[in-house]
Amino acid sequence: MNPDSQNVTDYTNNNTIFMVWSFRDNLEVGAVFSKLCKLIINLNNSANVRFPVSRASCVMGIGYDAWLKLKLPVPLPKELADFAPIVGGKHTAVSTKGDLHFHIRADTTSICYDMAEAISDVLSPVAISTEEIHGFRYWDSRSILGFVDGTENPQGQDRELFSMIGDEDADYKGGSYLFTQKYIHNLSAWKDLTIEDQEKVIGRYKANDIEMSDEVKPSNSHIALANVGDDFKIVRDNMPFGNMSTNEMGTYFIAYASTFTTVQKMLNNMFIGSSEGNYDRILDFSTAKTGTLFFVPTFNMIDDFSG
């Protein structure tokens, strides 16, 4: 039987709510988690029936500590672990805690709010919400920095290939590794750059999203360092968020991958550099405030977890 995977290959939607929850200490959470698993299945089934064209879904990820606390199957997914900080000469990919991650998305905001409310009602007695980000689609999928985000995303059947575990970890086939980071941008400093200098930071031309040639593209540009080869891709579903009046605009980076090693390569290039010290120039304007690794089980597994 082929695994029934969660909606990790869906394309970017117009509205998103990202939530991270952490279990309270010294509480029994098994019964609540079973109830939550039933809810996640019901939310997705209901969305498919009630709003078939809205592309509404809720993807749940589980962190390493939560996997152990909940006594989920062993051995664990091969690369599920606490994310270790990546410390470069100037910038750091920080590590932050999180037990459960929810990626809620739809064409309309109403469904997102209803899903977030239902999840919060179940989890509130035993867990604390440590992050809630309301993302939005900005023009033609641009980040708030003004450049199209996700151009390197795999398309078609390649999305499944690069985002889902295969036979190499048969017990978890159809699952995915999920890595998230909340970035806050220094828009004031970014706006001080000329368009030409912004383009050199990114490695693409701003208006038409065309990648610079290798002869022109700086070696410390974001494109040069974040792209680690055609055989190593991830499915991104980044979304901008924030408050413009307080200069607290950001990007929520979210990556689904068949192997966390691919994400690790990207982060090492960005924060340490390739070669060392040649770090991603975008980090001078974008600061990582969080960094957490989760595992996204299949619906079959969630059904098992529900008891």
pLDDT at residue 87 in the model: 98
Q: Which residues of the chain have pLDDT under 70?
A: 1
From residue 174, how far is each of 8, 232, 297 by CA, in Å? 10, 18, 8
pLDDT at residue 82 in the model: 97
Q: Omega into 275 within 30° of 0, i.e. cis?
A: yes
pLDDT at residue 248 in the model: 87
**By three-state DSSP, how is residue 205 classified?**
coil
- Report the alpha-carbon distance of residue 289 to residue 296 in Å, rounded: 22
105 contacts 136 by C-beta, under 8 angstroms: no
From residue 77, how far is each of 40, 265, 284, 296, 297 by CA, in Å? 21, 19, 34, 10, 10
Model's pTM, two decimal places? 0.97
User: CA angle at residue 12 from 82 to 48, to 5 degrees?
Assistant: 95
Q: Omega into 297 within 30° of 0, i.e. cis?
A: no
- Report the alpha-carbon distance of residue 8 to residue 26 in Å, rounded: 32
Query: Residue type at 131?
Result: E
- Catalytic residue IDs: 149
